[in-house]
Amino acid sequence: MAGRRKEIQIQVEITSNEQWEEALAAPGLLVVDVYQKWCGPCKAVQSLFRRLRTEFGEDLLRFAVAEANTILDLSALKGKCQPVFLFYFEGKLVSVIKGVKGPLLQRTILELVEEEKKKQELGSKYISKLQEIFLEERPKESKPEPSNENDKETDDHGPYHVVIIKPDVVAAGHVEPIKQKVEDAGYSIIAEEERVLNQEQILDFYRAKAEDSDFMQLMSSGPVHALILRKENGQSDSDGLDLSEIIDPIQAELVKTEKSSEDISEMSLGFSDDSRELASRQLAFFFPSFNFSADTSAPQADTNPRVQRTVALIRPGLLRERKDEILQTIRDSGFQIAMQREMTLTEEQARMFYREHEGKDYFPCLIHHMTSGPLLALALTREDAIQHWRGLLGPKILEEAKQKSPESLRSQFAMDDVPINQLHGSSTPEEAERDLSCFFPVEHTLAVIKPGVSQEQQNNIVSQIKEAGFSISQVKETQLTRDMAQMFYKEHKGKEFYDSLLDYMSRAPSVLMILSKENAVNEWRELMGPSDPEQARQCSPGSLRAQFAQSILENVVHGSSNIQHATDNIKFIFGDGDM
């Protein structure tokens, strides 16, 4: 813990319920970064927090971090795969931001600091207009008990509705006002989620608008925010305002239901194909672990399998000897490989990932094998992916798999000289999200469209970047100085082409972009292709350099080579602002 405090510096670490109560009682606005044990506090926002803390001082603004598992009030956030920031004013929760959204975090802090200033200036005359919110749904007011058994309410809550708030509205910080509007109209928010749609998903989800290039570009420009709503108990959709009167179609899309039913198969989309299959896939994408029939009085059969994501690990021994065979087996089993990443775990990373096995007899062998060479992490998708993959794997104990499930993958792909199984799979939706966050974290990388690229080619490159699922969080067109070019290409210093490269990069404006995506650094380099355009045309004909590059020197695009280079280059070009 002492090591983490030094790293965080500006943030106080809260490790007990007693410290939590003390922090809430102290003066000033309190901003809490709630993190999970497996990923730690968010480092991306610390420069922003440090600057704001320096500007306003501790009397007005305080920052803290807390692990969700250690604080009772944070139990609702256990297992969440993205950072959650809580804002406490006068000891009460007044705002929640999920995910790292630098501009929204800054705007929220500035607004609440102004409120804190008013409170301190007015003293006892101050009256707060901020409303307390809760991490878990709480009843707004108690209702009288029914007078007899026949009057008791059943769980007649009417249909579910799903609202998809568009990226520009999310970026502008208007999610909370929309949520407040629907709650004021008598709807409860049952679940919410934030996702970035790639080009393929947008085309699938919004087929009716596939020809609307402005709409397609908007929906790929950043994360959307999805809400599941329903009327509170005892009310029907006919009570009060209809959702279509509340939800501005410019701001959000509405998933409407045809009947008062919780069965996802009876939902159709007012903004897309009305087929039940598509509705199921769309809702499953946003809410893969949400059970739409959980509140019904009668059990319902799950007739619509959900499209899920799960993580598969191919351990080092199997990857070395039978990589192509296992990948083909996975594809033949109906899975799509959405992402893959080859990496070598450090001993610390392996111990952290398999910490629940520590103390078992096989643990030292497992750690030794997992760090013996590269493994391959796969993000797999298909209907009921988690259960299906676990079923294919078979028992975890290798001897048991061989004896009881000889047809299982762990038995078929066992290695004679290794006593542990060669394949891993996430066990639950929560574990799948944790594993995805671990092996495919959202990364930021720097992309440069080099000088001399025509406007038509620039537009084509940007279009392909978005089609590949990247979101572009910042763009700057500027002419690099020679010193700036040296910063980008310092690893080439001393090579015979170095001076020519610097001259070329500083002769005319370049377009510089921050790209964000899971595994962004490697995927951007794959999209660029090899540095030599001739080689690119042979081995990667769909790459940007194969399509547009003229020579090794004038090869159209540049990208950071690793995460550290990306961080350094982004800071160098765009400063300390958050992404």
Digit-coded pLDDT (tens) for 114-168: 999 988 888 888 888 788 888 754 333 333 333 333 333 333 445 667 788 888 8
Rounded Cα distance between 60 and 174, Å, is 25
Reported as a single tens digit per residue, the pLDDT across 176-226 is 888 888 877 877 776 777 777 777 667 766 767 777 888 888 888 877 888
User: Are residues 86 and 142 in contact, defined by beta-carbon separation less than 8 angstroms?
Assistant: no
Residues 257, 267: contact at Cβ < 8 Å?
Answer: yes
Is the pLDDT at 228 greater than 70? The verdict is yes
- Tell whether the torsion through CA atoms of 565, 566, 567 and 570 is positive or negative: positive
| Residue 74 Cα to chain centre, angstroms | 20
| 149 located within any domain | no
d(CA 65, CA 80): 15
Q: 267 and 202 in one domain? A: yes
Alpha carbon distance 184, 529 (integer Å):
52
- The reply to whether 470 and 382 lie within a common domain is no
Q: 144: which DSSP letter?
A: P
Q: Is residue 549 part of a domain?
A: yes
> Does the residue 134 lie in any domain?
no
Least confident of 151-160, 278-287, 341-350, 510-519: 151-160
Q: What is the pLDDT of residue 577?
A: 54
Cα–Cα distance between 68 and 350 in angstroms, integer?
23
Shared domain check, 452 and 433: no
DSSP label at residue 159: -
What whole-number distance in Å separates Cα of residue 230 and Cα of residue 330? 39
Same domain, 353 and 467: no
**301 within a domain of the structure (yes/no):** no
Report whether pLDDT(8) > 80: no
548's CB contacts (< 8 A; 6+ apart) are: 453, 457, 460, 461, 556
Residue 139 lies in a domain: no
Which residues span the domain enclosing 190?
Answer: 154-286
Distance from C-alpha of 118 to C-alpha of 126, rounded to nearest angstrom: 7
Query: Does 356 share its domain with 393?
Result: yes
Name the H helices within 45-101.
Answer: 46-56
Residue 471, pLDDT above cutoff 70 = yes
Task: Report the amino acid identity of residue 466.
Answer: K
pLDDT of residue 407: 84
Which amino acid would we find at residue 428? T
293 occurs within a structural domain: no
Q: Whose CA is closest to 31, among 120, 115, 101, 108?
A: 108
**Which residue type, as a one-letter code, is found at position 532?**
D
Q: Reply yes or no on whether the pLDDT at 502 is more than 70.
A: yes
Percent of the chain whose pLDDT exceeds 70: 79
**Cβ(102)–Cβ(577) under 8 Å?**
yes
Q: How far is CA 168 from CA 28, 220, 239, in A?
A: 31, 10, 31
Q: From 245, 97, 84, 228, select the one nearest 165 (Cα to Cα).
A: 228
* pLDDT score, position 80: 62
pLDDT confidence of 568, banded at 50, 70, 90? confident
Q: Give the mean pLDDT of the chain.
A: 78
Which of 7-16, 67-76, 419-428, 560-569 has the least mean pLDDT? 7-16
- Look at residue 579 in the predicted model and tell me its pLDDT: 53
**Mean pLDDT, rounded, for 497-506:** 90
Question: CATH number, domain at 174?
Answer: 3.30.70
- pLDDT tens for 354-408 read 888 888 888 888 899 899 999 999 989 888 888 889 888 988 888 888 888 888 8
In angstroms, rounded to a whole number, what is the distance separating the alpha carbons of residues 256 and 279? 10
Question: Residue 340 sits in a domain of what CATH number?
Answer: 3.30.70.141
CB-CB contact of 300 with 329 (8 Å): no
Burial of 116 (0-12, 13-18, 19+ CB in 10 A): buried
Instruction: Choose the weakest-confidence range: 71-75, 111-115, 264-268, 565-569.
Output: 264-268
User: Residues 306, 277: contact at Cβ < 8 Å?
Assistant: no
Based on the fold, state whether residues 402 and 454 are members of the same structural domain.
no
Confidence of residue 569 (pLDDT cuts 50, 70, 90): confident
Average pLDDT over residues 500-525: 89
Both 473 and 427 in one domain: the answer is no
Q: Looking at this protein, which amino acid is placed at residue 424?
A: H
Using the predicted structure, report yes or no on whether residue 541 has a pLDDT greater than 70: yes
- Residues facing 307 on adjacent strands: 383
- Tracing tokens 């044990």 back to the chain, one arrives at 37
Is residue 435 helix, strand or coil? helix
Q: Which of the listed ranges 134-148, 235-249, 282-296, 456-470 does the model predict with the highest average pLDDT? A: 456-470
CATH number of the domain enclosing 111? 3.40.30.10
Q: How many domains does the chain have?
A: 4
pLDDT above 70: residue 284: no
172 with 119, same domain: the answer is no
Backbone angles phi, psi at 227, to 5 degrees: -125, 140
Instruction: Burial-class residue 240 by CB neighbours within 10 Å (0-12, 13-18, 19+).
Output: middle
Query: 87, 104, 125: which is the final residue of a domain?
Result: 125
Helices (H) and strands (E) in the chain, counts: 24, 18
pLDDT digits (tens, 9 = 90+) for 54-96: 888 888 999 999 988 889 888 888 766 567 899 999 899 999 8
Q: How far is CA 264 from CA 72, 226, 258, 272, 287, in A?
A: 33, 16, 11, 16, 11
Q: How far is CA 452 from CA 155, 295, 514, 548, 550, in A?
A: 65, 60, 20, 11, 11
Are 321 and 408 contained in the same domain?
yes
Identify whether residues 15 and 97 lie together within a single domain. Answer: yes
Task: Write down the catalytic residue from 157, 369, 558, 565.
Answer: 558
Regarding whether 563 and 499 lie in a shared domain, the answer is yes
- Residue 136: per-residue pLDDT: 58
Task: Give yes or no: 161 in active site.
Answer: no
Q: Pick the range with the lowest mean pLDDT from 267-281, 354-368, 446-460.
A: 267-281
pLDDT tens digits for 96-106? 887 766 677 88
117-151 exposure pattern, b = at least 16 Cβ within 10 A, e = fewer: eebeeeeeeeeeeeeebeeeeeeeeeeeeeeeeee
How many Cα atoms sit within 13 Å of 119 on the Cβ side? 18
C-alpha 201/C-alpha 281 separation (Å) is 10
pLDDT given at position 461: 93
Tokens of 72: 């009772």
Q: Are strands 442-449 and 510-518 parallel, antiparallel or unpaired?
A: antiparallel
> Is 321 in a helix, a strand, or coil?
helix
Q: Are 171 and 103 within 8 A, CB to CB?
A: yes
- Average pLDDT in the 517-524 region? 85
From 80, 104, 125, the end of a domain falls on 125
pLDDT over threshold 60, residue 301: no
Q: How large a percentage of the chain has pLDDT more than 90?
A: 22
| Helix, coil or strand: residue 199 | helix
At 265, which amino acid appears? S
Q: Is residue 294 part of a domain?
A: no
pLDDT of residue 260: 37
Residue positions counted in the chain: 579
Same domain, yes or no: 280 and 242: yes
Q: Which of 327, 326, 367 is nearest to 350 (CA)?
A: 367
Single pTM value for the model = 0.37
Among 252, 286, 320, which residue terminates a domain? 286
Residue 297 lies in a domain: no
